[in-house]
Amino acid sequence: MPVWHERTRSLREAGELVVIGIAGEQHADRTRLFAQWHGIDWPILWDPFNLTGSSAVPNITGIDEHGVVRVVRPKPETFDEDFLAPEFAPPPDSDPRPWVLSPAALAEPAAQGPVAALAWFLSRGGAAKVEPQALEAAMERRLAALALAAGAPGADPAWSFRLGVAHRMRLDSPAAHAGDLSAAVAAWTRALLASPHQYVWRRRLQQFGPRLDKPYNFYGWIERARAELAERGEEPVALATRLCGSESNERGSPPFAEGEVEPDPKGAIERVGGLLDVDATVVRHCRREEGRLDLPTDVQVHVTLRPRRGVHWTNDAGPALVWVDPPEGWRAERRLSTLPAAQAETSDEVRAIDLELSPDPGVLLGEELTGYALVFVCGPDDGPCRLVRCDFSARCR
């Protein structure tokens, strides 16, 4: 893509060519950082739901002045003669093309139905400054519409993919549910199993999956980009959502502490229900999901904690800890993790860690992963502040 940025620079400046990007990525701010790093100044559109239907990227398409597609995946060295020099006749039939997502849908995000739900998420409805309860209800309504479309008999698997994207969007919003990543992974897996050659969908699942499922480091460029931007004297675009360990392909990266000493071996810390939602999501190798049993069996485990309404973290009391007991025959890259806390005295954000589990040789079937979080919380509302234990479990196979 940077190749085309350079190749078209003079053409763009001369007004001979318009370049438009479409980024098929979950997080728009990561594309913004990427564009800033490469000095891209042409418009980039955000297509997290894969509305273009592309099954792999990059895709380069040349469209003439009549709106007709003339070249796909052109070669930079023959681009002028293949696309710019020829005169193209207007098409005989100028019927309007089908809409992928119409401006009308984008303008009416309050409408019902799955298309309106996509429009609402795309218009960053979730970022609107509304009361938390109103935002939660609005998201729930849109997710229900997408779930209905995804679950309809004979539904296009694209709806399952989009449902997963929407769940991931909610996880990154103030209305997050602890189970949103589980829901997203389940929906993406359904979509991929129905359409295994859809590499844009596959990448979304791999993003949160085990390291050996990634053909390369998806976001290894971010630190390099930040460093180079700093050298250029530019402030890098801030990323609203922190990269998890799975996304950055790093093991035991700060601020997580590694450790093997169990913090509550006797279960002495009080278990109090109703304060916190805890979710443990296991993401497997995509090809394992497709039935390839000869491939690595490592899994990525994401643990997500979310205080319920009226409950908040007491950050000055101490860090939250997550302890993991892998099933017999499995090894965890670390068993004790310290969760990063907000700077504020109290907060109620989602906290999450991820770690990788590997089976010993010869272990084919994993069993149940168990674990617990030890957290300092206050509430609900004016309730007491205390250290509580929240247990969780997930299946590794």
Partner 1 sequence: MNNPGSPAGMTAREHARARRPDYIGPMTRRRLGVGPALAGAVLAVAGSTPPQEVGFRIGQLVPDVALPTIDGGGVVRLSDLRGKRVLLIEFASW
Q: Which one among 102, 133, 253, 393 touches partner 1, defined by CB under 8 A? A: 102
Nearest to 272 by CA among 177, 379, 390: 390
Cβ proximity to partner 1, 51 vs 272, nearer residue = 51
Between residue 159 and residue 198, which ones bind partner 1 under the rule CB under 8 A? 195, 197-198
Q: Is 274 helix (H, G, I), strand (E, B) or coil?
A: coil
Between residue 341 and residue 380, which ones bind partner 1 under the rule CB under 8 A? none
Least CB distance to partner 1 at residue 51 (A): 5
Binding of partner 1 by 8 (CB under 8 A) = yes
> Do the beta carbons of residue 395 and residue 369 sit within 8 Å?
yes
Binding of partner 1 by 337 (CB under 8 A) = no
Cβ proximity to partner 1, 121 vs 372, nearer residue = 121
For residues 218 to 257, the per-residue mask of contacts with partner 1, x marking binding by CB under 8 A and - elsewhere, is xx-x------------------------------------
Q: Which one among 34, 313, 323, 330 touches partner 1, defined by CB under 8 A? A: 34
Cβ proximity to partner 1, 172 vs 367, nearer residue = 172
- Region binding partner 1 by CB under 8 A among candidate stretches 29-37, 251-259, 346-354, 372-380: 29-37
Q: Which one among 160, 173, 207, 304 touches partner 1, defined by CB under 8 A? A: 207
Q: How far apart, in whole angstroms, are the C-alpha atoms of residue 361 and residue 367?
A: 15
At CA 10, angle to CA 8 and CA 13, rounded to 5?
105
Least CB distance to partner 1 at residue 216 (A): 7
Q: How far apart, in whole angstroms, are the C-alpha atoms of residue 215 and residue 185?
A: 19
Binding of partner 1 by 153 (CB under 8 A) = no
Least CB distance to partner 1 at residue 31 (A): 5
Q: What are phi and psi of 285, to 5 degrees?
A: -60, 130
Which two tokens mark 245?
A: 């360990």
Q: How far apart, in whole angstroms, are the C-alpha atoms of residue 354 and residue 256?
A: 10
**Local structure of residue 258 (DSSP, 8 states):** P
Residues that contact partner 1, how many (by CB under 8 A): 95
Nearest to 283 by CA among 170, 164, 173, 176: 164
CA dihedral angle for residue 99, residue 103, residue 201, residue 160, rounded to 10 degrees: -80
Between residue 47 and residue 66, which ones bind partner 1 under the rule CB under 8 A? 47, 50-66
Strand 385-395 to 44-46 pairing: unpaired
